[in-house]
Amino acid sequence: MTYGWEAAVEAQIRSAQERGEFDNLPGAGRPIPGRNEPYDEGWWIRSFMEREQIPSDLMLPTPLQLRRRIEQLPADLRDLPTEAAVRSYVAVLNAEVVAWLRAPTGPRVVVRPVNVEEAVLRWRADRRPAAGATPPERSQPPAERPARTRRRWRWWRR
């Protein structure tokens, strides 16, 4: 049993075929991709991410994203030009870690802030010239950090 609207749709398709509107379409004559593969409920999101070149890390929960960023920290810091840039980068990462620790969401994963001094030492070691190479001359001496006073940290003990 055919309905009247089905006949009208079939007639429109037939007339479009006769006019050649379906000729030279992309993928014409090729098999449908993924037709012989088992059904995957997330096929559309995977194809969207591939097409738009979205990194798969964005699909991870927040604590796993933070852990991955901490693991990749030496590689990220290696290209930074100054110690101040390294400290700033680690400070931003630590702020994100602390924000997550205050209101954790997602799976329970151990995530701790990064020690800034250790990150700076690792950055310096990665930038150390190879044996026999002459180090570049510094135009200015490194800035001195002010000594921490007892009064400044007294509020923390309260």
pTM of the entire predicted model: 0.56
Looking at per-residue confidence, does 69 or 128 come out higher? Answer: 69
Residue 40 has pLDDT above 90, yes or no: no
Looking at per-residue confidence, does 5 or 121 come out higher? Answer: 121
pLDDT value at residue 100: 93
Residue 147 has pLDDT above 70, yes or no: no
Looking at per-residue confidence, does 40 or 115 come out higher? Answer: 115
Residue 10 has pLDDT above 70, yes or no: yes
Distance CA 130, CA 29 (A): 58
Q: Give Dmax (Cα) for the chain.
A: 91
pLDDT value at residue 86: 94
CB-based contact 70:114 (threshold 8 Å): yes
Residue 22 has pLDDT above 90, yes or no: no
Alpha helix positions (H), 72-143: 73-78, 83-102, 116-127
**What residues does each domain of the chain span?**
59-127
pLDDT value at residue 129: 64
- Give tens-digit pLDDT for 93-104: 999 999 999 999
Residue 91 has pLDDT above 90, yes or no: yes
State what percent of residues in the chain have pLDDT above 90: 44
Helix axes 62-71, 83-102, angle to 10 degrees: 160
pLDDT value at residue 30: 84
- Give tens-digit pLDDT for 58-80: 888 999 999 999 999 999 999 89
Average pLDDT, integer, range 28-57: 85
